[in-house]
Amino acid sequence: MPRLAVYALVVCLLAVAAAVVSFLEGSVLIGVVWVLLAGLSSNMTWYYVRRARAAGPDTPATN
């Protein structure tokens, strides 16, 4: 898995955790912002994974 995809996945997981905490504490607006950030980083993860698969195993895009 490419390095940028791993970073985006970590951001996605942290954003989901932050959204859960925000909703549990009653801060709905901040929770919605965290959910939107999680969606964006999830899409970035898929983009980097697909780009690496399309590039092939011998290119620097897989690092």
pLDDT for 60 beyond 60? yes
Query: pLDDT tens for residues 26-39?
Result: 999 999 999 999 99
Q: Are 2 and 61 in contact (CB under 8 A)?
A: yes
Q: If pLDDT is split at 50, 70 and 90, which confidence band does 9 have?
A: very high
Nearest-angstrom CA–CA distance, 48 and 32: 25
Distance CA 6, CA 24 (A): 27
In contact, 55 and 61? CB cutoff 8 Å: yes
